[in-house]
Chains A and B, each alone.
Chain A
Amino acid sequence: MPKASSSKKQRSGARGKSGGRKNPSVAKPVAILAAVVAVALGAAFYLQRRADDKAAPAPAPSAHNTHSLISPQGWSKGNSLAKAVLVEFVDFQCGACAAASSRVANIARKHGSRLKIVFKHHPMQRAHGNAMIAARAAEAAGLQYRFWEMHDLLLQRQHEWAKVPDAQTLFLRYAAELRLNLARFRRDLWAKEVGDKIYRDIMEGQMAQVRSVPAFFLNGKPIPNSRDEFEFEQRIVDGIRSLQ
Chain B
Amino acid sequence: MSGNPWSIRVMVLAGFAGMVDSGYVGFHSLTGLLIPCGPAGGCDQVLNSPYSHLGGVSIAWFGFAFYLAVTAAGIFGLSGFRQVFRFSLIASLAAFLATLYLLYLQAFVLQAFCDYCLLSALLVFVILGAHLALRPWNRTPESA
Q: Which residues does chain A contribute within 8 Å of B24, judged by CB atoms?
A: 44, 47-48
Whether a CB of chain A sits under 8 angstroms from the CB of B27 is yes
Chain A contact patch, size range: 35 or more
Cβ of A84 to closest chain B Cβ, rounded Å: 30
The CA of A4 and the CA of B22, in the complex, are separated in Å by 46
Whether a CB of chain B sits under 8 angstroms from the CB of A168 is yes
Whether a CB of chain B sits under 8 angstroms from the CB of A190 is yes
Contact code string A1-38 (vs B, CB < 8 Å = 1, else 0): 00000010011011100100110110011001100110
Task: Choose the segment among A147-155, A195-203, A224-232, A235-243 that binds chain B (4+ C-beta atoms closer than 8 Å).
Answer: A195-203
Which residue in A25, A40, A51, A124 is a CB contact (below 8 Å) of B19? Answer: A40
Chain B contact patch, size range: 35 or more
Most A CB atoms within 10 A — which of B29, B45, B56?
B45
Q: Please state if A126 and B112 are interface contacts (CB–CB under 8 Å).
A: no
Cβ of A138 to closest chain B Cβ, rounded Å: 14
* Sampled A-B contacts (23; CB under 8 Å): A7-B141, A15-B144, A24-B79, A29-B79, A33-B71, A36-B16, A37-B71, A39-B16, A40-B20, A40-B71, A44-B22, A44-B27, A51-B35, A51-B36, A52-B33, A126-B29, A126-B32, A133-B48, A167-B50, A190-B45, A195-B44, A195-B48, A203-B34
Those 9 A-B pairs whose CB atoms lie nearest each other, nearest first: A44-B23, A40-B19, A24-B80, A132-B48, A48-B27, A29-B79, A125-B32, A44-B24, A14-B141
Residues of A within 8 A of B (CB): 7, 10-11, 13-15, 18, 21-22, 24-25, 28-29, 32-33, 36-37, 39-41, 43-45, 47-48, 51-52, 54-56, 123-126, 129-130, 132-133, 165-168, 190, 192, 195, 199, 202-203, 206
Residues of B within 8 A of A (CB): 12, 16, 19-24, 26-36, 41-42, 44-45, 48-50, 53, 56, 68, 71-72, 75-76, 78-81, 110-112, 141-142, 144
